[in-house]
Each structure stands twice: as C-alpha cells, then as structure tokens.
Amino acid sequence: MSYDIAYTKLKTRVIKGNVNPEWNESFNISASDPNVPIRLCVYDKDTFSFDDKMGDADIDIGPFLKALKMHLEGVPDGITVSKVKPSNQNCLTEESCIIWSGGRLVQNMILRLRNVECGEVELQLRSD
C-alpha cells in the first residue's frame, strides 16, 4: 500500500500470501492544507511484472486538521470532538468520529476503495 500527500510518497512493507493483510504500520505525515487529501493506493505485488493497482481512496484530512486547532486541554477522555459523514470527498463507508483520547485526537475510519470491484481499508489518524 502507498500513501501520497502533496509530493511525498510513503509505502508499507509487502505482505505475501494473504488476501486480507494487516500492516499495523505507522507513518508520520505533516499536513497543513485541509484541501489536499491523502491518496491511498493498494497494489498487488508482482515478481516478474509491474504491480497491479487494486484500488485507491482519498482521505479527507480537513475535519481532523480543524479539530487539531481546537483548544482541548481539560476535555474529558473519550469525548467525541467531531463526526464525519460519508461523502464523495472522503470514501468513508460509515460515519467516522474524531475522539479526544489519551491527550490526543484519534480518528478510526473504514475507507471503500475506488476503481476496484470491492475492497476496504481500515486505518487510524492520530495527533502527536
């Protein structure tokens, strides 16, 4: 899987022999423009030819960046700061909540891949 934001590309390691891989990898991404989505692309690794693109999804980081600007010191743990509904701009399969947890913002989401018959990716955004 690869992530593109602006002109930066990040890639996960390859997981062989698994149709439902779990990466459990973390990336630190600097994002300041809420209008520039993070593009996630999933590929099938091929040994002797070009990798096959399995699908892609855009992550709308605008709501998360907006929540980062809120002053949340003293807010109780587990409070939902914002809810993001599925739309054409975010590829969400269901509503995603931005939660204040352990002194940072966390957003779990399930994205439906585009340009593929079916496929979903679960991921989490976290502030540091």
Per-residue pLDDT of the chain (128 residues; tens, 9 = 90+): 444 455 566 666 666 766 666 767 777 777 777 788 888 887 766 667 666 667 889 889 999 999 999 989 889 999 999 999 999 888 999 999 999 999 999 999 999 988 887 888 899 999 98
Name the pTM for this structure. 0.77
d(CA 66, CA 61): 9
pLDDT for 53 equals 67
The rounded distance, in Å, linking the Cα atoms of 108 and 121 is: 11
Q: Element (H or E) spanning 66, and its range?
A: helix 62-68
